Amino acid sequence: MSFDDEPVQCSRKGCRAPAEWVLVWNNPKIHTPDRRKTWMACGEHRDYLSEFLDIRGFLREVVPFSEFEG
């Protein structure tokens, strides 16, 4: 996964670190069950972003960036 050969960065506000993880999520109140959205995470922010999504019941899976097929 790449966007115009630019490195994919972490989704944490203000973080410019390269993505190491893909957090796959879905908000069941507004998305159909098969809809998947993604946030990227560096190693430092993986747990923070995962917890943010999980507390809300949105987190579906966490996949290493190198293995993500989206």
Q: At 3, is the secondary structure helix, strand, or coil?
A: strand
pTM: 0.86
The tally of domains found in the chain comes to 1
pLDDT string in tens for the chain (70-residue length):
444 567 899 999 999 999 999 999 999 999 999 999 999 999 999 999 999 999 999 999 999 999 998 7
Domain span including residue 66: 1-70
Predicted pLDDT of residue 4: 57
Predicted pLDDT of residue 6: 77
With beta carbons less than 8 A apart as the criterion, state whether 61 and 54 touch. no
Predicted pLDDT of residue 55: 97
